[in-house]
Structures are given as C-alpha cells and as structure tokens.
C-alpha cells in the first residue's frame, strides 16, 4: 500500500478554525486526522501541504518511519506549527492503519485497558452565579462528573490583585456549592499569571475547595519557576498543552514541575508521540489528561489514546452533539453518564462530513488582546 495524496481541509463553520488532513492510498483506503490551530492557521495548513511531496509513494503503515522522516528531515527542531502539521498527518496515518487491519486504533496501541473514557468540559460565566449554573447544567443535564473553569473573574487584568483573589474565591465557592463535593473541578488561569508568588496566592485561596488540578498557573517558558511553585502548593499542577514532543516533556518531568501531563495529541507529535510522553509520565508516577478543545476529530483521537493508556486520567471534551461542530463529522462518539463510549469501528472511529465542510474556509483570527490599565499588553 502506498500514499497517493495528502489533502488539507481548512474549515470554519462559524465556531472556530479546523485544519483536517486526509491521507489517500492506492488501495482505496483513507485516513482522517487534524492539526492543531496554533496560528497562523493558514501557515499550518501550508506545512501539511509542504510535507505532501515527502509522503507520496511511501507506505502509510510505517508510522514511526514517516514521523522521523518529517521531524528529523526538517532542518531545525520543529516549533508549534511544524509539530501541529506532523500531528495532523500522523493521526491520519493511524486511521489508515486501523482500517487496513480492520481494527480500532487502540488495538494497535496495546489494546483497551478501560471500557469507557471519562471527560470534562469547560464552564463559564461572568458572575459566580452564572458559572455555578453552567456547572450545574453540565452535571445534571449532561451527566458529567468533572468540569473546568477559569478561576479569576472576567477582566482580571483591570482589577487589583485583592479584587482578583476575592473574585476567584467567590467563583470557586459558588461552583463547589452548586455541584457538591463529589464532582471534580479543574482550574485553568490560561497561563496569564506572570509572577509565581501570585499563582501561589491564588492556589491558597482555592485550595479549601479541593480543585482537581491547577492548569498552567504560570507561563510554560520557565519550568524551574513552575517546579518551585509545585513544591509549595497543595493542588496538583497540570500543564503541557503548549509543549510538543517527548523532548520538551522530558525537561518538564526532569524538573519535577508537574503532576498531570496535558499534551495535545494534535500538537505534541501525534498519537505515538503521546504514548511516549505518557510512558515518561508513568515512569515518574504522573497521570495524563490530554488537552482537547477543538471538537469531534480531536475527541476521537483522544478516545483511542485514552482507551490504550494506563495512566490516562481524564479527557477534555467539547460537546459534539449540537451546534456547528455536529456538522463536521457524520456521527459523533456517544456520551453517556460523563463518559465517552469507545468505538469498535476500524480506525479512529469517525468520518468527516465532507459535503458540509466544503465552501467554509479558514478565517483569519487571533485571541483578543488583553490590555492592562496602563496600556501594557498582558499575557493571554
């Protein structure tokens, strides 16, 4: 079997950009993957297209070989855009291989070590009451056993630090009261806090409400600062969505800077690279909770990973049953009682709805710039 084409679909149905990859073979099999939209998204799509000439004529089942061809064959160690492109291609190759063997991808990664995959979704709201009500809906209407929220109040960059801490405590307390003691609550300041001492103070404010984890409490550039924070706080530290390959995660783990690893399988290098990162974590008694905010293809890849990874903890999840994301694929994976069912269909378990995604190209975007009161550009 040989690769005869690599197609890229830049899609926006009104919610966000998606960069889908489709690998075609001479045996009439195809595989679907997705590259993370690290931005500029058009650049990521062009890198996928750039690799096309490298891959045509190659055996798509030699996934480790083709990963090394793309990664080692690039002139410098890749950054976020190159690794996002590699991840999109790599996940599509696994879909091909699963279909070629007539089995789900997890069977090729060691087989199932669990029967269903626990998930959480993000919750939000401008006031403590609004975020608490969203949490209540997630638990009562959707059956979720865990949620994640931004701890700081909206517009935190324009508030005094005392106001931020008071608002953080009010939000966390409201959500805990709304969902009770048994639902887990993850906290994600989105790497917007620069000073380690402030992250420590925020951790102290929320610690009595027993968060599941404190995600990206600091920027990812300085793992030693994160390690120092981890030694002081009494909440599990989670991070990794901005990191890629086993090499960057090795440095994070070696610094003893993390409790829960959060690789994004559409950015870190793909499924097999995610398994290698998980193995590094397992050897250091760490669990893995993949970053997965994009939608149904990311979810499908995450489910295959989770099914076959012993130290998996929980998967980030976007509700795929309604809204624009529902149109992206033919049939979403079933969510029941806070867990995703593990498909037994060959490959990653989903197919793109190509008729729906045609004619909806990528849109130029960037995160809203965060401006502090004195005009300084804050982290976002």
Active-site residue among 190, 224, 360, 366?
A: 190
Active-site residue among 30, 291, 360, 366?
A: 291
Instruction: Give the residue among 79, 65, 57 at the shortest CA–CA distance from 4.
Output: 57
What's the 3-state SS for 143-197? CCCEEEECCCCCCHHHCCHHHHHHHHHHHHHHHHHHHCCCCEEEECCCCCCCCHH
Question: Which pair of tokens denotes residue 16?
Answer: 């966000």
**3 membership: H or E segment, kind and range:** strand 3-12
**224 membership: H or E segment, kind and range:** helix 223-232
Q: 181: how many CB neighbours lie within 10 A of its CB? A: 9
Q: Is 291 a catalytic residue?
A: yes
User: With contact defined as beta carbons under 8 Å apart, do 296 and 330 qualify?
Assistant: no
**35 membership: H or E segment, kind and range:** strand 30-35
Q: Tell me, what DSSP letter sits at residue 367? A: P
Q: 60: how many CB neighbours lie within 10 A of its CB? A: 28
| Integer Rg of the chain from CA | 20
User: Can you tell me the distance from the alpha carbon of 214 to that of 198, in angstroms, rounded to the nearest whole number?
Assistant: 13
Catalytic residues: 190, 291
């Amino acid at each position: 079997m040989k690769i005869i084409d690599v197609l890229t679909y830049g899609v926006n149905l009104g919610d966000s950009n998606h960069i889908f990859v489709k690998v075609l073979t001479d045996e009439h099999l195809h595989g679907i993957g997705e590259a993370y939209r690290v931005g500029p998204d058009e650049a990521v799509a062009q890198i996928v297209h750039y690799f096309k000439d490298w891959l045509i004529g190659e055996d798509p089942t030699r996934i480790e070989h083709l990963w090394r061809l793309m990664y080692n064959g690039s002139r410098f160690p890749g950054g976020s855009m190159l690794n996002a492109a590699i991840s999109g291609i790599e996940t599509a190759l696994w879909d091909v291989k699963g279909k070629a063997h007539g089995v789900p991808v997890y069977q090729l990664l060691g087989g199932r070590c669990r029967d269903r995959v626990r998930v959480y979704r993000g919750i939000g709201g401008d006031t403590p009451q609004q975020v608490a009500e969203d949490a209540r809906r997630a638990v009562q209407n959707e059956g979720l056993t865990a949620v994640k929220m931004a701890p700081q109040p909206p517009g935190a960059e324009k508030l005094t630090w005392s106001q931020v801490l008071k608002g953080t405590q009010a939000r966390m307390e409201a959500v805990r009261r709304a969902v009770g003691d048994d639902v887990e609550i993850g906290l994600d300041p989105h790497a917007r806090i620069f000073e380690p001492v402030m992250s420590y103070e925020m951790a102290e404010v929320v610690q009595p409400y027993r968060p599941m984890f404190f995600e990206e409490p600091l920027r990812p550039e300085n793992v030693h600062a994160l390690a120092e924070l981890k030694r002081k706080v009494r909440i599990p530290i989670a991070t990794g969505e901005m990191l890629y390959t086993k090499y960057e995660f090795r440095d994070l783990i070696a610094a003893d800077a993390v409790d829960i690893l959060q690789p994004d399988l559409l950015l870190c290098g793909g499924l097999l690279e995610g398994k290698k990162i998980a193995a590094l974590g397992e050897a250091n008694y760490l669990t893995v909770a993949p970053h997965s905010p994009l939608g149904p293809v990311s979810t499908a890849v995450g489910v295959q990973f989770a099914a076959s990874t012993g130290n998996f903890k929980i998967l980030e999840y976007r509700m795929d049953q309604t809204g624009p994301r529902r149109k992206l694929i033919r049939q979403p994976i079933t969510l029941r009682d806070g867990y995703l069912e593990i498909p037994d269909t060959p490959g990653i378990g989903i197919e793109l709805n190509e008729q729906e995604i045609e004619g909806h190209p990528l849109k130029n975007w960037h995160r809203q710039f965060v401006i502090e009161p004195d005009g300084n550009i804050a982290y976002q």
